[in-house]
Amino acid sequence: MNLLHTKTTRCFFLSLFFIGSMFAALGQATVQGKITNQFGAPLPYASVYVKGNTKGTVANTEGRYALELKPGEYNIVCAYVGYQRSEKKITIKAGNNELEFQLNFQQTELGDVVVKANAEDPAYEIIRNTIKKRKDYLNEVKQWQTRVYMKGMIRTYAMPNSILGVKLKPNRDVIDSAGKGIVYFSESLTQYYRRLPKEYKEEVISAKVSGNSNGFGFNSPKDVEVNLYENNIQIEGLNNRGFVSPISENALHFYRYKYEGSYFEDGKEVLRVKVMPKRKYEPLFAGGFIEIMDGSWRLHGVNLGLNKESQIELVDSLLIRQQFFPVNGKVWMPQNTEIDATFGIFGIKAGASFVAVFSDYDLQTDISHVFETRVIKSIDTAANKKSVQFWDSIRPTPLTVEERQDYLRKDTLEQKLKDPKYLDSLDAERNKFGVGKLLLRGQSFISRKNKTVFDIPAVALGIQYNTVEQWAYQIEPSFRKWGDTGAYSINARLRYGFGNQHFNASASITKQIGKQYNKRWNVSVAGGKNVYQFNPSSPIQGLNNSVATLLYTANYMKIYEKAFGEVAGSKTLNNGMRLTLRMSYEDRIPLQNTDTTYKWKQYRDRRFTSNYPEELPAGFFDRHQAWLTTVSLRWQPGVKFIQYPKRRFVVESDQPVFNLTLTKGWKNIFGSDVDFGKWLLSVEDDLNMKLGGTVKYFAEVGGFINNSNVQLPDWRHFNGNQTIVASPFVRSFQLAPYYANSTRDNFVATAHVEWHLNGLLTNKIPLFRRLNWNLVTGSNAFLVDASRNYMEIFVGLENIFKTLRVDVVAGYDGFNKKPTNGIVLGFNGLFTGQ
């Protein structure tokens, strides 16, 4: 009886399952097809939506689309910028429904408009009317939320065999012998919240990265938010000045326009205006067209491009397409935004394509509560664990054959990467030893299986010369283990002075402590014995000092030995403030010159200066011990966070950064001799002036609260420079002496400001605008007292060959009471990340 009951129960539930599945199938319907032009060519990323609501999708690069709907009657609209919209009525039944579209190129009609000689083109009146309505539409909707599907792809089209003498060995599972391959492919689904003027939040529902099942990708709706109603269009990484919108308040000063006719859609006339820059090498769109609705003067479609004449960096060209559609019958919002870019460097040619599809707009619900936290992007724990069936159900645009193949190929590759034998073979190839590599570039030994890497820097770069050690050799190897758990790093510094025959070694180990990401401390322990400059900022590098010493008998570097032990910890607090605690014990040992006379023939009678800074009073550095504690607070108002499932990252705001550092030297603790307290408060910021360029500033005030016993390494030193090689910008004084103004007084102030014109002015000079060399100017100054002060101004050119900077500097040295001037060479731009 029990057995019969059990079987009956199972049959009952199986019947329910099949009946439920049948009804579910009856409730599912898909309309799909292909979108082509009149010649049969596919129209990639064409828009398809249901007339009267926000349900829609876009086609893939093959022109194929798929749209999930409930059975019923619908008017389906297909649109593509530059082509006639097509509307078809269809009765959709359960299952798959085929509906194909063929769009014809939009033949605009000039109508009765007659353009006479010397008369203004009708486009200008259209643009003036649009500009008048710009602010209304910019602020029309104060807040909204939408669901955004994004797809991003980066691919290579060509790749050289080597770059700057370094042979390239691309993975042939990704890039073929012709240099072609997809190096990044990702999809994401995000709930996007937006509140004017600048607030936004992204909640990543699902993310998928080809070949990385644990990845989340870097697709972001904020990065593709292009709004021509803004006066200045900022596109990250292309140009700090931004680009003047063709409908900005001052657009008529920057662009020429041509009326190309109109067409009617749903009884409304749509006007097409060709956009052309008035001048080359200005931050302007290089060409294209915008479509504007007559009477309401709203944007209907955008097709604009940027190229090198737009003063863009990193990429060679960029195309922006936007299609708008009515959300509630009145407000028009972007349905999809497509950004395509091409770029090339060192023989590598590549392209990138990102498309965002917006749906389910909600303009009514109050979303104020979303912005109550500091998290601007959160990623669900299961975001990268969604099934294939889930993606097939939510993906608004079907995958192309190439995209499906990339997923399959990369999934296979990912499985191979889990095989220790395959990893060993990859590592064996990468870790091959080479004498030339070790000498000039350095050598890395990686073990993907163990998640470790051991780096040896270029051996040739470790050779130095100074008057204390004479010829010296220094090398700084490092070891790192990565991963979500157990990650740590070890950095060592080994140094031998052949003149004084001293061997020194020091090392540090750094690790994160704490299971919860928001409570973790970044802890480091360091110790050993090594050589250091009196100024802990190391204002002159070893190579620069070697050249100055050997060629000009200018031994600027002043050094001492230090045996030490140190413990430090830092943590980001919930308000974004960064707290750092440091405690150290140091045994400081003075060093004397072992080489006092320059041996080269042409300078036989010349002598080196002392290793002690001769500009300063004697007697402030004998061997001593120091017990030091330091507390530092770094704070930036408005800082935000990106929340990953197991970690959190700080996103800096557009507010200034404040740093406060308090240091105490304790007397009689473990024999410590020092007795002082000092403070330092700084503020810094980068101000984006858009068309006016970028202004960077850094200012400090500080001094000693108590200076009963302050040894020279603890004095307040200024980062001077007495060589032709520039010291770090916005932190240094390019012509000031290294130690002449060092102080232990109770107050000191410094200020640095730089204005990077980013093409302003130089874009008017034919040669410079083609080379994309930019002007930079500014000033540096410090004040100790009436006799110890310094000020300099400079004008320079930067971005020379993408990395070189040349400055002409003029200043006044209060210590020596004389003007000073010179030229310094520095590096910034492409190779330094600036």
Closest listed residue to residue 441, CA positions, set 148, 810, 165, 230: 165
Of the candidate ranges 15-24, 388-397, 589-598, 736-745, the one whose mean pLDDT is the lowest: 15-24
> Is 779 a domain residue?
yes
Q: Are residues 224 and 285 in the same domain?
A: yes
> Is 585 a domain residue?
no
> Is 149 a domain residue?
yes
Q: What is the pLDDT of residues 712-751, one digit of tens each?
A: 999 999 999 999 999 999 999 999 999 999 999 999 999 9
- If pLDDT is split at 50, 70 and 90, which confidence band does 6 have? very low
> Is 375 a domain residue?
yes
Residue 164 predicted with pLDDT over 70: no
SS3 content of the chain, % helix, strand, coil (to 5): 15, 45, 35
Bridge-based pairing of strands 640-643 and 375-379 is parallel
Q: Are residues 96 and 132 in the same domain?
A: no
How much is the pLDDT for 602?
65
Q: Are residues 144 and 92 in the same domain?
A: no
Closest listed residue to residue 44, CA positions, set 58, 57, 54, 33: 58
> Is 444 a domain residue?
no
> Is 224 a domain residue?
yes
356 phi/psi in degrees, rounded to 5: -125, 130
Q: Where are the alpha helices (DSSP H) in 572-645?
A: none
Residue 311 predicted with pLDDT over 90: no
Average pLDDT, the chain: 88
Residue 385 predicted with pLDDT over 70: yes
For residues 529 and 561, is the Cβ–Cβ distance under 8 A? yes
How many domains does one find in the chain?
3
Q: Which of 74, 103, 132 is the last residue of a domain?
A: 103
Token code pair at residue 376? 């601007």
Total-model pTM:
0.85
Residue 10 predicted with pLDDT over 60: no
Contacts of 816 (CB under 8 A, 6+ apart): 737, 740
Torsion from C-alpha of 399, 404, 410, 412, nearest 10 degrees: 140
Residue 247 predicted with pLDDT over 90: yes
Strand partners, 812: 791, 819
- Radius of gyration of the CA atoms of the chain, in A: 33
How much is the pLDDT for 769?
81
Q: Which of 389, 416, 443 is the last residue of a domain?
A: 416
Of the candidate ranges 193-202, 300-309, 426-435, 658-667, the one whose mean pLDDT is the lowest: 426-435
Q: Are residues 82 and 173 in the same domain?
A: no
Q: What percent of the chain has pLDDT over 90?
A: 61
Q: Are residues 347 and 399 in the same domain?
A: yes
The strand ranges marked E within 514-577 are 521-533, 559-572
- If pLDDT is split at 50, 70 and 90, which confidence band does 111 have? low
Residue 163 predicted with pLDDT over 80: no
How much is the pLDDT for 827?
81
> Is 306 a domain residue?
yes
How much is the pLDDT for 362?
94
Q: Which amino acid is at 792?
A: E
How much is the pLDDT for 603?
64
How much is the pLDDT for 829?
52
Q: What is the pLDDT of residues 402-450, one digit of tens each?
A: 999 999 999 988 888 888 888 888 888 888 888 888 898 899 999 988 8
Q: Are residues 55 and 179 in the same domain?
A: no
Q: What percent of the chain has pLDDT over 70?
A: 93
Task: Provide the CATH number for the domain around residue 71.
Answer: 2.60.40.1120
> Average pLDDT in the 253-270 region?
89
Q: What is the pLDDT of residues 343-362, one digit of tens each?
A: 888 888 999 999 999 999 99
Which of the pair, 698 or 110, is modelled with greater confidence?
698
Tell me if residue 247 falls in helix, strand or coil. Answer: coil
> Average pLDDT in the 534-560 region?
93
Token code pair at residue 671? 């024999």
Q: Which of 369, 396, 416 is the last residue of a domain?
A: 416
- If pLDDT is split at 50, 70 and 90, which confidence band does 605 have? low
Q: Are residues 207 and 71 in the same domain?
A: no
Residue 5 predicted with pLDDT over 50: no
Q: Which residues of 663-676 are buried (b: 16+ CB within 10 A; e: fewer)?
A: bbbbeeeeebbbbb
Of the candidate ranges 106-120, 270-284, 427-441, 731-745, the one whose mean pLDDT is the lowest: 106-120
- Of 167-171, 510-514, 578-582, highest mean pLDDT: 578-582
Residue 18 predicted with pLDDT over 70: no
Q: Are residues 66 and 153 in the same domain?
A: no
Q: Are residues 86 and 176 in the same domain?
A: no
- If pLDDT is split at 50, 70 and 90, which confidence band does 770 have? confident
Q: What is the pLDDT of residues 453-496, one digit of tens each?
A: 999 999 999 999 999 999 999 999 999 999 877 799 999 999 99
How much is the pLDDT for 831?
43
- If pLDDT is split at 50, 70 and 90, which confidence band does 26 have? very low
How much is the pLDDT for 367?
96
- If pLDDT is split at 50, 70 and 90, which confidence band does 542 have? very high
Q: Are residues 94 and 135 in the same domain?
A: no
Q: Are residues 272 and 142 in the same domain?
A: yes
Residue 24 predicted with pLDDT over 70: no
Q: What domain range includes position 770? A: 685-834
The DSSP secondary-structure symbol of 716 reads B
Q: What is the pLDDT of residues 27-65, one digit of tens each?
A: 468 899 999 998 899 998 888 888 877 677 888 888 999
- If pLDDT is split at 50, 70 and 90, which confidence band does 22 have? very low
> Is 633 a domain residue?
no
Distance of alpha carbon 711 from the chain centroid? 41
> Average pLDDT in the 7-18 region?
37
Q: Are residues 792 and 832 in the same domain?
A: yes
Which of the pair, 451 or 834, is modelled with greater confidence?
451
